[in-house]
Structure 1
């Protein structure tokens, strides 16, 4: 199945990709998608957004079809064909 993936702000600087379509296995999760990104887009992407225990670092946000995975099933959120996944870096300012 295919999903649309966007990397915003500093994550664009890391991946050098703003938007891409990726093929992922049926019943893939966000964690599976991150592994696909490591192999096909940016080899160290998971090290940037995941901590040593494989959990999403607090300051990063992942949206699936506009909803934060914090309100879904976290990194275990299942993806469907045609979903849009957006990776957002820490917000700065004050």
Structure 2
């Protein structure tokens, strides 16, 4: 199956990719996708967005089809063919 993946702001600087389509196995999770990104897009991507316990660092946001994984099943959210996954870095403000 295929999923669309976007890396915004500073994550684009790390991956050097704004948008890509990845061929992935059926039934993978967001966490599985992060491993695939490490192997095929940007080595050590997982070290940037995951903590030492393999949980998403608080300041990062992952959207699946426009919905935060925080409101789905977290990193265990299953992906389907054609899904769009967006990785967002910490947002500054003030």
Whether these two folds match at TM > 0.5 is yes
Equivalent residue number for residue 56 of structure 1: 56
User: Is the partner of 1:12 in helix, strand or coil?
Assistant: helix
Count of residues paired in the alignment: 94
Cα distance in 1 for partners of 2:19, 2:79 equals 17
Residues 1:8 and 2:8 aligned together = yes
Cα distance in 1 for partners of 2:49, 2:9 equals 14
Moved over 6 A (4+): none
Equivalent residue number for residue 66 of structure 1: 66
Cα distance in 2 for partners of 1:9, 1:54 equals 22
Residues 1:22 and 2:22 aligned together = yes
Segments of 5+ residues of structure 2 without an aligned counterpart are none
Normalising by structure 2, report the TM-score: 0.99
- Cα RMSD (Å): 0.3
Segments of 5+ residues of structure 1 without an aligned counterpart are none
Equivalent residue number for residue 38 of structure 1: 38
